[in-house]
Structure 1
Amino acid sequence: MSQKKAVVLVSGGLDSTTVLAIARSEGYACYSISFDYGQRHRSELLAAERTAKVLGAVEHKVIKLDLRAIGGSALTDDSIAVPEEETGGIPVTYVPARNTVFLSIALGWAEVLGCDDIFIGVNAVDFSGYPDCRPEYIAAYEVMANLATRAGAEGNKLHIRTPLIHLSKADIIKQGVALGVDYGLTVSCYQANDQGEACGKCDSCRLRKQGFVQAGIADPTHYQSA
């Protein structure tokens, strides 16, 4: 019997790297996919390539998109500053329709590969308030995926797997460490420098730092010097 396949969305960050390790531990042959979408924190793409290799992805693709063409986010528009203090509501680091765009491309690759499973590291507990990280969004997208594809029409049910969606950042870290993830290879910062060093101030850095403290695990993140 051939090994089951999965497409895994990887950004090079803590959450998606943990998801790749989980998929591998569940026996999947993992095909990882990242997106060069014009994000300001481009060192994450190198981190995604590193972690995909270390965690044994069968193949790693980087898809080039230009979300700077529409802007609307601090991650794709240099005129919008990345906030370094907590803000209410949906933050300016939200990228319009990003997960919908990414999942749609991953869905196409899954059809080509004959995969029934797509893994994504969305989280509805320790997250920044992004609407496309909510369980109801994922459930709705899975319904759409099965309506919109040949695979779904022919009865091969497609699943969007979200193993982190109800976990705290601390629990995600604990699970990743148990699976042998080296978080020193990952980049989560919204404004990391070219060496992948984190600012330590943005929302993503704050959540990551807090997660390691709450997990009681030493933080291996490489931070920029003061």
Structure 2
Amino acid sequence: MVRRARALMVATENKAVILVSGGLDSTTVVAMAQAAGYDCYTLSFDYGQRHRSELVAAEHVSRAMGVREHKVVHLNLDSIGGSALTDEAIAVPEQATEGIPITYVPARNTVFLSIALGWAEVLGAQSIHIGVNAVDYSGYPDCRPEFISAFETLANLATKAGVEGQPLRVETPLMRMGKGEIIEVGIGLGVDYSLTVSCYQATSEGLACGVCDSCRLRRQGFIDAGVADPTRYIAN
């Protein structure tokens, strides 16, 4: 009898679903997971973001790193707006701001992790990896360790795998690392950061603005790591 194509696979410790944006952090997470012996399945989201060149970068990075499978899920978070990343009428700030910045996308990581959780169940993977960071980051509430811990609890209450004794972990290997340290680790693992795009308002060719919050953090990271910055900037 032919089994259903979407049937849940037998859980295995060495499969990992990794959220990738095409940026510096998530690319480093893929390299770290591969070094730890995981079979990596990368997941990106076309959610209505203005910086769509990150999707191209995520595909290029995934192909270059030889992951098992790369999947893009289509969402329409731009339909609810509320963020400079999903609403063209809201300008991306080019100066540091107080509090949670307007580039925060409401509930983004909650939605992304939920879909990653579903794919992990289908694959039989027991870990989801995400490049959130509580040191060099923009102050987003869904990048904090408290959020990750709460989501992991939810994941094991809400899934067949969790209920049947196959608990799922949410791995955040970059949580306590600064950008310079992240880059040093990535360089040591052979990451080609020239393939990555981090800018909130990158051009369709992947050229970075050099002035948004993400660009500032990235640029400082290369300075702190003492590594030449391979980013292609618009001014260049």
Structure 1 CA distance for aligned equivalents of residues 32 and 168 of structure 2: 18
Partner of 2:18: 8
Structure 2 CA distance for aligned equivalents of residues 213 and 31 of structure 1: 31
Q: What is the aligned counterpart of 1:96 among 82, 95, 106?
A: 106
Determine whether 1:142 maps to 2:152: yes
Contact kept, 8 Å, 1:10 with 1:34, in 2: the verdict is yes
Amino acid at match of 1:130: Y
Structure 1 CA distance for aligned equivalents of residues 77 and 22 of structure 2: 18
Contact kept, 8 Å, 1:68 with 1:76, in 2: the verdict is yes
Equivalence map 1:9-158=2 (5 Å): 9-158=19-168
Contact kept, 8 Å, 1:3 with 1:29, in 2: the verdict is no
Question: What residue ranges of structure 1 are gaps of 5+ in the alignment?
Answer: none
The Cα of 1:211 is off from its aligned counterpart by 0.5
Amino acid at match of 1:203: D
Q: SS of the residue aligned with 1:116? A: strand
Once the two structures are superposed, residues 26-66 of structure 1 have per-residue CA deviations (whole angstroms, 9 ceiling, x without a partner) of 10110000000000000000000010011111000000000
Equivalence map 1:196-207=2 (5 Å): 196-207=206-217
Structure 2 CA distance for aligned equivalents of residues 197 and 75 of structure 1: 16
Structure 1 CA distance for aligned equivalents of residues 163 and 67 of structure 2: 28
Q: SS of the residue aligned with 1:35? A: strand
Identity between Structure 1 and Structure 2 (%): 68
Structure 1 CA distance for aligned equivalents of residues 98 and 138 of structure 2: 9
What value does the CA root-mean-square deviation take over the aligned residues?
Answer: 0.9
The Cα of 1:225 is off from its aligned counterpart by 2.2
User: So what's the TM-score if we normalise by structure 1?
Assistant: 0.98
Amino acid at match of 2:93: P
Structure 2 CA distance for aligned equivalents of residues 42 and 183 of structure 1: 18
Amino acid at match of 2:205: Q
Q: SS of the residue aligned with 1:224? A: coil
Structure 1 CA distance for aligned equivalents of residues 220 and 127 of structure 2: 31
The Cα of 1:3 is off from its aligned counterpart by 7.3
Which consecutive aligned stretches of 4+ in structure 1 deviate over 3 angstroms post-superposition?
none
Equivalence map 1:143-182=2 (5 Å): 143-182=153-192
Structure 2 CA distance for aligned equivalents of residues 132 and 177 of structure 1: 27
Aligned residue pairs, count = 225
Structure 2 CA distance for aligned equivalents of residues 12 and 133 of structure 1: 17
